[in-house]
Amino acid sequence: MRTPRSIYAIAILSAWVAGCSNASIPRTAIGPAAVSDARQHAKAAGTSGYVYISDVAGNFIDKFDASSGALVEKITNVMTGPGPLYVDSSGNLWVGLSYGNGVMMIPEGTSAAPRRLQDGGSPAGIVIGADGTAYVSNALNADGSPGSILVYPPGRDTPARTIQDPGFFENSFITIDDKGDLFVTGNVRHLTQFIGRVDEYVGARQTGLRRWAVHLYSPGGVKWFNGNVYVCDNGEYTVTEYTESGKATGRKLVTGGAWDGIDILPDGKTFAGADQTNLQGISRAFPFGRIVRTYTDPAFINPVDAAYQTNRKGL
Assigned domain for 76 exists: yes
Specify the pLDDT at position 3: 44
> Three-state secondary structure along 134-147?
EEEEEEECCCCCEC
For residue 130, count CB atoms less than 10 angstroms from its CB and return exposed for 0-12, middle for 13-18, buried for 19 or more. Answer: middle
User: What single string gives the DSSP state of each residue in 44-66?
Assistant: HTT---EEEEEETTTTEEEEEET
How far is the CA of 76 from the CAs of 124, 129, 137, 310, in angstroms? 19, 28, 23, 22
Rounded Cα–Cα distance for residues 215 and 197 (Å): 5
pLDDT number for residue 113 = 75
In a domain, 128, yes or no: yes
Q: What is the CATH number of the domain that holds 99?
A: 2.120.10.30
Q: Is 274 exposed, middle or buried (0-12, 13-18, 19+ CB in 10 A)?
A: buried
In a domain, 315, yes or no: no
Question: How does pLDDT run across 193-252, given as a tens digit for each residue?
Answer: 668 999 999 999 999 999 999 999 999 999 999 999 999 999 999 999 999 999 999 999
CA proximity to 293, closest of 310, 315, 271: 271
- pLDDT for position 194: 62
39 pLDDT exceeds 50? no
C-alpha span between 140 and 169 (Å, rounded): 8
pLDDT-derived band at 114, boundaries 50, 70, 90: confident
Strands 248-254 and 259-264: unpaired
Q: Give buried/exposed letters for 71-104 (b at 16+ CB in 10 A, else e).
A: eeeebeebbbbbbbbbbbbbbbbbbbbbbbbbbb
What mean pLDDT is reported for the chain? Answer: 85
Q: Decide if 254 is inside a domain.
A: yes
Give me Rg for the CA atoms of the chain: 17
- Amino acid identity, residue 242? Y
* pLDDT band, very low/low/confident/very high, at 34 (cuts 50, 70, 90): very low
Laid out side by side, the sheet with 134-140 consists of 122-128, 134-140, 149-152, 161-163
- Residue 140 counted as domain residue: yes
235 lies in a domain?
yes
Question: According to DSSP H, which parts of the chain are helical?
Answer: 5-11, 13-19, 37-44
* 146 domain-assigned: yes
- The whole-angstrom separation of Cα 128 and Cα 90 is 12
Number of domains in the chain: 1
- Read off the amino acid at residue 250: G
Would 181 be classed as within a structural domain? yes
What range defines the domain where residue 278 resides?
5-309
User: Is the predicted pLDDT of residue 28 greater than 90, yes or no?
Assistant: no
